[in-house]
Amino acid sequence: MIQKFLIALLLTGSVLAFAGQPEPQVHGNSNVLLYAGGRSYLGIDVRDVSSDRVSALKLKEERGVEIVMVDQDAPAGKAGLKDHDVILDYNGTRIEGEEQLRRLIRETPPGRNITLGISRDGSPMQIHVQVGDRGKVQANSFARINPRDHVLEIMPPEMPDLHDLPQIFNTYAPSLGMQIDNVGQQLGEFFGVKNGEGVLVKSVEKGSAAEKAGIKAGDVIVRADNEKISDRTDLRRILRSHREAGKITLGIVRDKREQNVTVDVPEARRPRDNGFQFAFPDIETINDLRSTLDSEIQTELRQLQPQLRKIQAELKPELQKTLRNTQSQMQQLRKQLEQEMKILNKQMNQKWI
């Protein structure tokens, strides 16, 4: 269980380290002029009809406004206006030049339908156009290239189940009045215990059951009720089974010689019956659990090192590939945005109407 938890924790950190790369920031071009909403807009660039253009445009007289560029996404493009069309009338008003046309468009509220009298290759025509809102048209242009529409999703690994945690509640552990610790290989050789198994008595409380049984600091408990004791967990498990007062036989090693001692186990302290039952572990159980978990975690970490290095080696190329693809997409979006802004800047400089 601890192994599953550590792998999940470390993998989550690895994924977040790659996924936490900052998103490229795109800043607006300060040279682009953005108009506020409410400005009437057709989406055309125009110029006055000059005397040298009358013949080329097949006009009968020198008047009107020639269209030199049409925004196909704007009202004019959608209505069918084309380059080199000549606007001669605006809602029945005779058009003499560019400034007059600009004024008439400004005075027309957005959303209103107008009729343009035009000449196309010398043929008179009428075009119906709905006046647009300059701010909305330009906002739609930016919406088409929103880089946030492309999102990199990285799913973190599932968290492990926690139902395997040791059950330390709803148990009673009688106290023998002694402080204990695992022996280990090094101390086992010193005290004469094989394979470092057993529980070392570090201190004995005066007046306790352990002292009354003759247990001393430096003794190593290797058996309890004829069961082998490898560490504190084994001893605590056996003691928890003695909830009622009684006797227990402990096999101890003293001066490298094994002997038996009989201990009168006191009855475990129980909470008063007041309608609610809360059973908590004693301090010794908590200390045992903490020490055991610390030792197990250290052991698991050492055992996990090869596996973690292998997982990191397997995941790193995939994560790097995903990151490179995302960066490539963002670069393409940035180029597209720059192109759109150049077009918009050009349009503003051309004084489109």
For 78, residues 6+ apart whose C-beta sits below 8 A from its C-beta are 72
Whole-angstrom Cα distance, residue 127 to residue 136?
A: 22
Higher per-residue confidence, 346 vs 212? 212
pLDDT range class, residue 32, cuts 50, 70, 90: very low
Whole-angstrom Cα distance, residue 69 to residue 76?
A: 10
Q: Which three-class secondary structure string do you get for 1-24?
A: CHHHHHHHHHHHHHHHHHHCCCCC
pLDDT range class, residue 303, cuts 50, 70, 90: confident
> Which residue is associated with the tokens 């759109």?
340
What percent of the chain is modeled with pLDDT above 70? 68
pLDDT, one tens digit per residue, over 125-184 is 999 999 988 767 655 654 544 444 444 444 444 444 444 444 433 333 457 888 888 888
The confidence score (pLDDT) of residue 197 equals 87
pLDDT, one tens digit per residue, over 284-300 is 566 666 766 777 787 77
Does the predicted TM-score (pTM) go above 0.75?
Answer: no
pLDDT, one tens digit per residue, over 216-261 is 999 999 999 889 988 888 888 888 877 677 888 999 999 889 999 9
Q: Answer whether residue 276 shows pLDDT above 90.
A: no
- CA angle at residue 49 from 105 to 44, to 5 degrees? 40
The confidence score (pLDDT) of residue 265 equals 83
Domains along the chain? 1-34+133-171+295-347 (no CATH), 43-130 (2.30.42.10), 178-269 (2.30.42.10)
Whole-angstrom Cα distance, residue 121 to residue 311?
A: 72
Encoding tokens for residue 34?
């953005």
76-88 mean pLDDT: 94
14-19 mean pLDDT: 44
